[in-house]
Chain A
């Protein structure tokens, strides 16, 4: 790697100020599983790495009055082992398990994954279906926004160049919401997703589906929700036909591409099957409650 300076500021404001000062020449370092690889291959003109993993408000996983707070610098390995995540958001744990391999999960952070905003970001769908929102630190302090608004396009988030992702919050009402996540890659380990899918829903007293959520990854310019497919099942009694109809609708809501990993058509088949399976499993979990 070409020479650069390294700083590990102790506060978000300090980090934001450094980024604002150095502009394009500064990069944010969290786990480094993407950034260090980039710096090795496409050196660019980077003169400063700002390590955000020593900022206290970026760290930790905790339960607050509002719900579950996951620090953006929480590593996948940490999330997978954390009692709160395992209890309240098992599908975020499952999604974390599909990222890279043990060694990369012990480096990579959930915030880093969201900030890179690749369409195949494995942590996105399971967070989207739980209506997660995010805290962003900028020069004027912190602001909050829904995760859906955070994603803009391929490798593009709504973060301004000097802004930082502080944490991810899952609303209290959604902790323990019946949910399921599936990833399909060309290998079982260390593979990019051809398709990621997640679903979450409740069943009311009469057994009807309420607040259904469906999210997909790797089949659109960014991780997406599927509102039309959600509308298909909202308020209805779950049946195989209904869930299949929703899966069919989800296929119309994604825009997969042809690339060397798979054809768009193959990805659409995957969306159909995986959406159906995620919904089916979510209904099963909900009806066991």
Chain B
């Protein structure tokens, strides 16, 4: 698969996968001269672990009792005097320009207290890596899960009915769904910017030379799919804007300090005026690591002077909360006759969906872990994250690690089968050991992968 891509930094140079990328220049680390660090480090025995009395003892969760009694209060279990309910209208198109949003008919409905559109958000952008995501869409909707307008009403049902009365005029734009297509930048999700919004290159040794010298070269493309976290507790928040200009928000958010920064930014008020309270989270798995509807509820509360709650439906959860990045993984691996990996060349394309979210972390971890836990002297990993007009992908357990694990372990099996080597044996021949270097040349300590493999294979009777 040869695809034309552009350098994110310069935005100009056309590159192809078979053309080599220049790795970022490595700055030599300057060490304090009087106290030079010698690699590999000799570290003290981790005595603390063996001495801790807690090890080996059964620990029970401090909140287990209330969970079992049904007394734990999750956000949706909270209610406040005069509380009203909000619902969010989702985009009718995967990619469109919003010509107009008319909420007047909805606002006139009995039981409706207020409506909100993207234009009313003080600073309409947020995100943990890039601030590229609007709280409610401004001029452009970039996927079907984008909020276009919100309604606060006396009941959830009235709010839902009011959504149907909101008239949105769209000018549909061509949309791009395939990340490989998106690499071409023919349809831009965030025009005029390139769709490639994050990239990473890891280089070690001379991969082409080593591939040419390998006895066998294996190539395969692996793909993984979208995965929604499906926390059993849907996202839920309640916001209360008080007369002193302070906002109190109860939220199912897992990262409240980060959330407070985003709230302060989007609402354009100092952080000390934002009181964000996280209680028990009913399942996060990475899907509740950033704000979703909190600024909307805060502003609706400001407009109405009432506590405003919004609990996502399962549908909202699937279309508008973040999900796991699908990866397209191109693996070329050179081995010698004994199955020792000599070189590995990897290209990762991450389907980023409409907004960046936690892609920065995902592309980082994904790239570093892509070669696998194996000693490989010659490496090239190139990773690109691209925008598409689909549900935003973000953090989910492992930040990219499970996707690349699927690829490198599948390829290890391919190689083992082709060379007639036992799949366990080929891993033992290549696996990291104490003081191995990671793909980014960190020295690895407490490495027990071979012992773990041997012990596990003993226990499930691999040899039999």
Let me know if chains A and B touch directly in the complex, using CB atoms closer than 8 Å. Answer: yes
Interface residues of chain A, those whose CB is within 8 Å of chain B, are: 1-2
Q: Which residues from 142 to 179 on chain B have a C-beta closer than 8 Å to any C-beta of chain A? A: 157, 161
- Report chain A residues within 8 Å CB of B161: 2
Task: Tell me, rounded to whole Å, the shortest Cβ–Cβ distance linking A19 to chain B.
Answer: 25
By beta carbon, the residue of chain B nearest A2 is: B157
**B-chain residues with CB within 8 Å of residue A2 when the two chains form the complex:** 157, 161
Whole-angstrom CA separation of A1 from B161 in the bound complex: 10
Render B408-423 as a binary contact track against A, CB cut-off 8 A, 1 for contact: 0000000000000000
Identify the B interface with A (CB < 8 A): 157, 161
Can you sample 3 A-B contacts with CB below 8 Å? A1-B157, A2-B157, A2-B161
A2 to B156, CA, bound (A): 10
Q: How far is the CB of A108 from chain B (nearest CB, A)?
A: 20
Instruction: Please name all residues of chain B whose beta carbon is closer than 8 Å to the beta carbon of A1 when the two chains form the complex.
Output: 157
- Tell me, in angstroms, the Cα distance from A2 to B161 when the chains sit together: 8
Write the chain B residue with the least CB distance to A1.
Answer: B157
Tell me the smallest distance from the CB of A261 to a CB of chain B, in Å: 15
Minimum CB–CB distance for A170 against chain B, Å: 39
- The docked-state distance in angstroms from the alpha carbon of A2 to that of B157 is 7
Query: Given the complex of chains A and B, what is the CA–CA distance between A1 and B155 in angstroms?
Result: 11
Query: In this complex, what residue of A is CB-closest to B158?
Result: A2
Closest to A3 in B: B157
CB proximity of B299 to chain A, nearest CB, Å = 27
Q: How far, in Å, is A47 (CB) from chain B's closest CB?
A: 15
CA distance A73 to B161 in the complex (A): 33
Query: Residue of B at shortest CB range from A41?
Result: B315
CB distance from A38 to the nearest CB of B (A): 14
Q: Separation in Å of the B157 CB from the closest CB of chain A?
A: 6
Closest A residue to B156 by beta carbon equals A1
Shortest beta-carbon distance from B315 to chain A in Å: 8
> Min CB distance, B57 to chain A, in Å?
36
Report how far A173 CA is from B157 CA in the complex, Å.
52
Instruction: Give A246 to B157 CA distance when docked, in angstroms.
Output: 53
Closest Cβ–Cβ distance, residue A202 to chain B (whole Å): 47
Cβ of B69 to closest chain A Cβ, rounded Å: 21
Closest to B161 in A: A2
Chain A residues within 8 Å of B157, by CB: 1-2
Q: Could you tell me the distance in whole angstroms from the C-beta of A123 to the nearest C-beta in chain B?
A: 27
Complex CA distance for A1 and B156, rounded to whole angstroms: 9
Q: How far is the CA of A245 from the CA of B161 in the complex (A)?
A: 56
Minimum CB–CB distance for B108 against chain A, Å: 18
CA distance A1 to B313 in the complex (A): 13
CB proximity of A258 to chain B, nearest CB, Å: 19
The 3 closest A-B pairs by CB, nearest first: A2-B157, A1-B157, A2-B161
Give A2 to B155 CA distance when docked, in angstroms: 11
A279 to B170, CA, bound (A): 58
Give chain B nearest CB distance to A36 CB in angstroms.
14
* Cα–Cα, bound, A273→B326 (Å): 35
Distance from B87 Cβ to chain A, minimum over Cβ atoms (Å): 13
